[in-house]
Amino acid sequence: MYQEAKQRLRGSIAPIVTPFDENMNVDTEALKKLIEWHIESGTHGISVTGTTGEPSSLTIEERELVMETAIKTAAGRVPVVPGTGSTNHAEALHLTKRAQEMGADAAMVIVPYYNRPNQQALYNHFKIIADSVDIPIIIYNIPGRTATNLEVKTLARLAEDCKNIIGVKESNKDFEHVNRVLLNCGRDFLLYSGIELLCYPMLAIGGAGHVSATANIVPKEVADLYNYWVAGEVEKAIELHYKLMPLNDVLFKDTNPGPLKTAMGMMGKINPALRLPMGPPSEQLQEEIRQTLIEYGLLDQQVGMKK
């Protein structure tokens, strides 16, 4: 069961934004359109309610609504891996169980943020969640958001003790750390990059793909980065890596998904609303985003990049 999942859960798993309408309600119709666009563009998998999806600004019921909408819209055409983690253990447990009930292909569970558990507490947290379901679990390690790093030895214990913990999304700039993940967890453990500038380098050390917010802007190109690599077209992959860099840079000059939603609003993909305490980027950054999109040809033609 898990070996099959390890083969399917590869490539660009796009972390979709949560669109809101003018009344700040979850816009499920816009979400459906985004998912269809991603599937048409070659995205290999869909993730919702992760960091890019503003989960901490959603109620539990809204998170379930977004998860269910994504799973039903994808309808098995690509895997759906919702983010089910929380700073609250009971909520994370509940959402992971609901993901399984809804038919999710896997669940992505973040290291709890704000409360900064020690390594043994992290082990206990993930072990209980993994033992509560049969679906694959991908742990999400993002020290910049959580103020806690899931150490390699803790992750290796979890991978050994929980057969359904099959991978990790590492939003971790410590490249030595991510190398040691595969050394200690096994080369078949799924390693995903959550850092845009490390998407290509992680493929080079044996990574399974990436969960890149930039896929919300150029889904085809982010998917092609993986496609070129697995096809052995290394020079094309490297060229695309550098071609995407200016876009990656501007999208992270303020806290994600602020610049991202602004860009998607300019492209006509969504209403670029953010729920407080999040807010839009400065006018100066908005103009920089606009100019970057023009340089990539994205305001004139909403898919693809200038050749």
H or E element at residue 179? helix 175-185
Catalytic residue from among 169, 220, 261, 269: 169
Report the C-alpha gap between 193 and 196 in whole angstroms. 7
Determine whether the annotation assigns residue 52 to a binding site: yes
Determine how many CB atoms are found less than 10 A away from the CB of residue 25: 12
- What the block records as the tokens of 219 is 């889904």
According to DSSP, the residues that pair with 45 across neighbouring strands are: 13
Determine whether the annotation assigns residue 303 to a binding site: no
- Please work out, in degrees rounded to the nearest 5, the angle formed at the alpha carbon of residue 226 by the alpha carbons of 224 and 230: 115
**Residues whose CB is less than 8 angstroms from the CB of residue 39 and which lie 6 or more positions away in sequence, other chains included:** 46, 74, 77, 78
Catalytic residue from among 6, 127, 140, 253: 140
19, 30 Cβ separation under 8 angstroms: yes
Residue 169 catalytic?
Answer: yes
Binding-site entries for pyruvate: 52, 211
Residues annotated as part of the active site = 140, 169
Per the annotation, where are the binding residues? Answer: 52, 211
